Homo-oligomer: A and B are copies of this chain.
Amino acid sequence: MKTTSRKAEIIAEASQLFKEKGYSAVTVRDIAQAMGIKAASLYNHIEGKQEILSVLILDLAKEFTSGMNAILKMNNSPLQKIEKLIELHIDITVNQSEALAALNNDWMHMAETDVNNFVVMRETYEENFRTIIKEGIAQGQLQPRHPEVILFSILSTLRTLYLWYQKRGKLDVNLLKRDMVAVLIRGIV
């Protein structure tokens, strides 16, 4: 059964190394060694080191974008939308944690065009999130805090979840979702 292409295997292997040391500190020889082949052999499958990074990041960014769009279409309350967004991030984290590391830390090392596309996608995503929060405040469903503080505190928690999930012995995803929603939305007191 050959379900994964060689290119996909390379990208998967590279993403783990990128997560550990960052894109710039990983050499193509490192990636090749992890694959059990020589560095030059990689170029039968990829165009270059940067392509790996771009595939990793842009594919994931698209996943966030389409997840956001799906949530925007639902006619739920702002608070319910935020809950859905938290669950979206957790789902992506659970099976894409390596790509998340690259997206968070190494996006600026993509080719210029890709960086520009990425930044637009990211700003759009944040703007959509911000709008949901503002609606929640306007409707009296959320506390009247500075929307930027709310956006940031939720988003930074979710964005770095990949660092922390998995080192704590894989706690159950549904338990994680429940407690995370509770903590982020209802606080800890």
Contacts and interface: CB of A to CB of B under 8 A. Distances in A.
Interface of A: 20-22, 24-25, 79, 105-106, 108-109, 136, 141-143, 145-146, 148-150, 152-154, 156-157, 159-161, 163-164, 168, 171, 175-176, 179-180, 182-189
A156 B180 CA distance: 13
Contacts of A105: 22, 105
A188 B152 contact: no
A128 to B, nearest CB: 17
B149 A156 contact: no
B180 A153 contact: yes
Contacts of A180: 149, 153
A175 B188 contact: no
Contacts of A175: 146
A75 B160 CA distance: 32
Contacts of A157: 152-153, 156-157
28 contacts: A21-B108, A21-B109, A22-B24, A22-B105, A22-B106, A24-B24, A24-B25, A136-B188, A141-B189, A142-B188, A142-B189, A143-B182, A143-B188, A145-B179, A145-B182, A145-B183, A146-B175, A148-B171, A149-B176, A150-B183, A150-B188, A153-B184, A156-B157, A156-B159, A156-B160, A184-B187, A185-B187, A187-B188
A141 B187 CA distance: 12
A145 B24 CA distance: 38
Contact of A171 (B24, B136, B146, B189): B146
A155 to B, nearest CB: 9
Contact of A108 (B20, B154, B168, B185): B20
Nearest to A143: B188
Contacts of A168: 148
